Amino acid sequence: MVAERDGLAEPVAPVAFAGLPAEDQKLAEEAMGLERRQLAAQRAALASRRGVLGERASQLAEQINGYNRQLAANREQQRLIGEELDGMRKLAAQGYAPLTRVRALERAAADLVGTDGAYRAQAASAREGIGETRMQALQGDRAHMDEVIADLRQSEIELNDLKPRLAAARDQLSRGMVRAPASGQVVGLKVFTVGGVAAPGDVLMEIVPQRAPLVIEARVSPNDADDVHVGQAADVRLTAFHDRHLPLLQGKVTKLSADGFTDDKTGARYFRAEVAVPPEELAALKQPGREPPALKAGLPVEVVAPLRKRTALQYLLEPLQQRLFRSFREQ
């Protein structure tokens, strides 16, 4: 309707269509196609009505041309009869022509005058018909435009009424959808029942982001936790690929838990650490003539973090010192 009101060649898609989700884009395209077809049909009907009125105006114009030609012929007959009447009156005055012949010519001249007036009246009526036809065309266009504007105003009112309802429906729909903060691979699906109910705060699944840096979760023995700190270098060996000669990867400790954890199966205590491997280290896995290993979440790796520096004598005497310390405490 906006295109029809503004005289545009075709409807212009609203700006809001650009931000529609993918599932709504098809509906938007179908709506725009329907608008184009409706605009073409309305313009075809309007052009047909204009064509009928234009044809009628052309016919009236042809009639006027015919009346003008008849008027010209009638004037020529009046001229000829007038000349003949003048000569006949002279002859009748001299007694050489009957008076009845003079009267016949006078009646013919009077008929031509009447016919001339009739032609002029018909031409004037045809010109009036052309004016009425043009007025009908203008009134039809104005009435059509008034209808378009009224429909557009009503549509805007309905649209303004639907916008808050649409926003509320979208909000309700979005609350029923669980969206991950990043795309990736699901590694720990917790809910398997279709239509099942999840309590607030429950873990539904675990997702490993596709383009996230390689982060390794390592377990540190409580005896060594004091010697491990954030920023410390660590060697990473991919033990899951036994048949490959893969290089050691250099990583860095990025997190270390402040408290210890207990393994539910073995009961062993440990501290949780995270080791990040930079992308340039992963590039070393691409060896000529070999396919790079497919790294997946959950693969076992071996992390070696160098502890504090000790001499050979300290390394040998430390267990003895610890045993003596415990012995003195027991005594």
pLDDT, one tens digit for every residue, the chain (331 residues): 555 555 555 666 666 666 666 667 677 677 666 777 776 777 777 778 777 878 888 888 888 888 888 888 888 888 888 888 888 888 878 877 788 887 888 888 888 888 888 888 888 888 888 888 888 778 777 777 777 777 777 767 777 787 788 778 878 877 777 777 777 777 777 777 777 777 877 888 877 776 777 888 888 888 888 888 888 888 888 887 765 577 788 889 999 898 889 988 888 899 999 999 888 887 777 777 677 777 777 788 888 887 655 555 544 555 555 554 445 444 4
Q: Residue 118's pLDDT is what? A: 83
Instruction: Identify each DSSP E strand in 118-192 by its residue range.
Output: 184-189
Cα 126 from Cα 62, distance rounded (Å): 9
Torsion 88-93-94-98 (CA) sign: positive
Give pLDDT, residue 315.
Answer: 46
Tell me the pTM. Answer: 0.40
Helix (H) / strand (E) containing 300:
none
Query: CA–CA separation, 101 vs 88, rounded Å?
Result: 8
**What pairs with residue 262 in β-bridges?**
269
* pLDDT computed for residue 237 by the predictor: 83
207-256 confidence digits (pLDDT tens): 777 677 788 888 888 888 888 888 888 888 888 776 557 778 888 999 98
Among candidate residues 230, 271, 235, the one with its CA nearest the CA of residue 253:
230
How buried is residue 232: exposed, middle or buried, by Cβ count under 10 Å (0-12/13-18/19+)?
middle
pLDDT value for 326: 47
Confidence (pLDDT) at 244: 59
Angstrom distances, CA of residue 141 to CA of 38, 39, 97, 131, 184: 17, 15, 66, 15, 59
